[in-house]
Amino acid sequence: MSKNPRWPATITYFVVALLIGVGLGSVVQTQFNLAALQAMGVEIPIEVRLTTTLQDLANFAPLYAVLFSVGFVVSQTAAVLLSRWLGGRFQAMLCTGGAVVGLWATLWLVNTLAPPPTLIAATRGIAGLAAMLATAGIAGWLFARLRQRAANAKRPRGFSGMAVVLGVGCLAAAPAVVTQPAQAQEAQAERAYQVDALAEGLEHPWSLAFLPDGRMLITERPGRLRLLSAEGDTLEASLGGVPEVFASGQAGLFDVLLSPQFEDDRQLYLSYACGSIDANHTCLAKGTLADNGLEDVSEIFRAQPAKQGAAHFGGRLAWLPDDTLILTLGDGFDYREQAQQLESHIGSIMRLNPDGSVPDDNPFVDRDDARPEIYSYGHRNVQGLVFDADNQRLIAHEHGPRGGDEINIIEAGNNYGWPIATGGVDYTGALVTPFEEYPGTEPPRLEWTPSIAPSGMARYTGDLFPAWQGDLLVGALVNKEVRRVRLSSDGTAEDVEGLFGELEERIRDVRVGPDGAVYLLTDSADGRVLRVTPAE
């Protein structure tokens, strides 16, 4: 029976195998991501493919190395010990199989615990997952072979040294990961506003609508529709008649919007997630507001097809001047390619009649291969929406991944690029696409990289803050502030400043009240309604 190599050598072989497994895994995930783009008709020249592969080795591989090493350490230690217990037999088989199981278990654990449904995009499908697992198997097999070769050799034959060179070469393109310190924000000058809390104790409030008499309706993500007085006192903690809501992760009750003829018909609209974790949709219902709840509630739209997970539902609502209704959707995170498929609602913006039917002049209404409700497509997760009456334009923003948050002017039938063109990268550091712009897609009017995680958005049209007149006020969840953006009549945009950062709260929604004050909803389990007025 051959001797086992000593631990220093074993550690060397382990590191070599790990580096090669990480390098191969990075290359495989890049090719699967590019293949998904090619399946949508995107042309990817060989030089772009090579550059993308090298960029992912630099930016994706370091994080993947952390994930990969967890399962690899456990699996290879167990495989070596088990092989030793079996008298040195089956080492290659045990190391190979153990590496596969170790990576699978790591990916399962990460996908279960991390907010994104599937952290590594290439593993969304069976083929991509199998290919990534195969690279782990190769690494495990190599580790076993290196140990066996060393144990059987009377003296080193140079193979391990060459393997070290190859292993390091897999990551040679990866520069040292340097964490850029966040730039300290400049000290804010004394603001000419004051912030007062109107209401507290709301559970993840999502949207706000003002009733004609000054009362407020607040949606809470778990599925409650709260009625507040103009002073912020709770009149009804949970109005009855709200549709059944799927509440999990980002899913829940979203926007509330009054009918343009509310004073006559008392109708309002609610967007929400419906279904289950395994099959859910963004849904839209309308009902009539009575004294203590909603009556005559009916679902008038349900996004198709169903999707799994609890991420990226969109859910913002707005009226156009012709009394058609706009509803924004998300890409479901794992379904990003469907944002380019007109036969799917996912990753699109809808235009509907007030009863949920399809307007005759929608851009794709005459196409058999398209959903007739679609107004625009190529979106990731649209959660900010306003109609600019002064310039007669629909303005939306959407979340990018790590960077690539966008403000867009929405026009009928246009393709806004996701996931073919974006300035953002996946949360793993991997490129979603090698293209920031692509022919046939609309570039954003403004982009934030790194991401600010935009949420609600309002256009200021009140009288209390003349300097903000006509500007967009964009909630920022990550930055814990509101960005003031000036969007000129010709469509050029300027990020002017951050507001309310001293609150250090995640801002979920921004509204301009009939009194000209700015109203903020804070996103937490103990959320608040805040009122911003000029300083006294």
**Which residue among 312, 345, 379, 397 is the active-site one?**
312
The separation between the first and the last C-alpha atoms of the chain, rounded to the nearest angstrom, is 88
Nearest-angstrom CA–CA distance, 264 and 257:
15
Among residues 272, 209, 281, 216, the alpha carbon closest in space to that of 243 is found at: 272
Residues in the chain: 536
Total Cβ atoms within 10 A of residue 188: 13
Q: Measured between alpha carbons, how far is 205 from 201 in angstroms, rounded to an integer?
A: 10
The answer for 84, left when phi > 0, alpha when psi is -120 to 50, beta otherwise, is alpha
DSSP 266: -
CA 397/CA 334 separation, integer angstroms? 20
Q: How many angstroms separate the CA atoms of 361 and 413, rounded?
A: 11
Task: Supply 35's token pair.
Answer: 């293949």
Backbone φ and ψ for 312, nearest 5 degrees, come out as: 60, 75
Greatest Cα-to-Cα distance within the chain, rounded to the nearest angstrom: 94
Cα gap 10→151, rounded to integer Å: 10
Cα separation, 90 vs 379, whole angstroms:
51
What lies within 8 Å, CB to CB, of 166 at 6+ separation is: 16, 20
Structure-token pair, residue 89: 């037999």
Give CA–CA dist 157/154, Å, rounded: 9
Lookup: tokens for 66 = 């952390």
Question: What residues have CB less than 8 Å from 122, skipping those under 6 apart?
Answer: 28, 29, 30, 32, 33, 128, 129, 131, 132
Annotate 89-132 with DSSP letters as a single string. Answer: TTHHHHHHHHHHHHHHHHHHHHHHHSSSS-SSGGGGSHHHHHHH
Distance CA 257, CA 271 (A): 9
**Residue 510 is inside which H or E element, if any?**
strand 507-512
* 312 is a catalytic site residue: yes
Q: Which residues are catalytic?
A: 312
